[in-house]
Copies of this chain bind each other. A is one copy, B any other.
Amino acid sequence: MHDIAIHQKVLAQNIEIAGTIREKLKARGIFTLNLISSPGSGKTTIIEKTAALLPSEIKLAVIEGDLHTELDSQRLSKLNIPVRQINTGKSCHLDAMMIYRTLPWVLEQNDLNLLLIENVGNMVCPAEYDLGEDMKVAVMSVTEGDDKPLKYPAMFNASDHLLINKMDLQPYTNFDLARAKENALGINPHLNITELSCTTNSGIDRWVEVLTATVLGQPSA
């Protein structure tokens, strides 16, 4: 019981800090997405592909969450995407305080209107921690199996968008797309679902269109 009380206190503090972050980002017209998925479902590649297709009106920056390495931020830096690494050490998720500490860097990016936060690869705890984002985007890949929404419902429930990635591998697996969608929409009927392949690029344009409309359509501060 003690641990549960501590956990509730941690989450309550987190929500408070996330509220401050949300206010500061909104005041600067920065739309923020928190990308959550299992390790290796393709979050970094999706960011690379998204960045390449974004229209010039959208100015992107990325916060990369990882336990130890800077591998993902090095990949994005090579593409000239402004990126800030957070290493969480043993923590299996980003929390609002980690994001709060990067705010001076975020706010010094000129004309920034889109901030993507790539969470630590984990389908469980990241769903519980508000980072001050405008929306969470869940990513699942075909190779993980169509039962994942049932097994990790919190991530699907907390998200506005679901990207189903690695669609090019579907013919080689027993992944049932209709069942995956049914499982996901059963958890969260409001989920917008886009199927992608970062290998064939199918669906990336559709996702970037949806994202662009969402970012540019946001009410000004």
Contact = CB atoms under 8 A, between A and B. Distances in A.
Interface of A: 3, 6, 10, 38-41, 66-69, 71, 90-92, 120-125, 128, 140-141, 143-145, 147-148, 150-154, 166, 168-169, 172-173, 199
Contact of A125 (B38, B68, B92, B154): B92
Contact of A128 (B90, B166, B199): B90
A30 B66 CA distance: 37
Contacts of A153: 67-68
A7 B123 CA distance: 21
B3 A150 contact: no
- State how many copies of this chain the complex holds: 2
Contacts of A154: 67, 90
Nearest to A91: B124
Contacts of A199: 172
Contacts of A147: 69, 71
A140 B150 CA distance: 21
A152 B122 CA distance: 11
Given A40-B144, A67-B153, 12 more contacts: A38-B121, A39-B148, A39-B151, A40-B140, A40-B141, A68-B153, A69-B150, A71-B147, A71-B150, A92-B92, A122-B123, A169-B169
15 contacts: A3-B10, A38-B38, A38-B121, A39-B123, A40-B143, A41-B144, A68-B150, A69-B150, A71-B147, A71-B151, A121-B123, A122-B122, A122-B124, A172-B172, A172-B199
Given A151-B68, A153-B68, A40 B124 contact: no
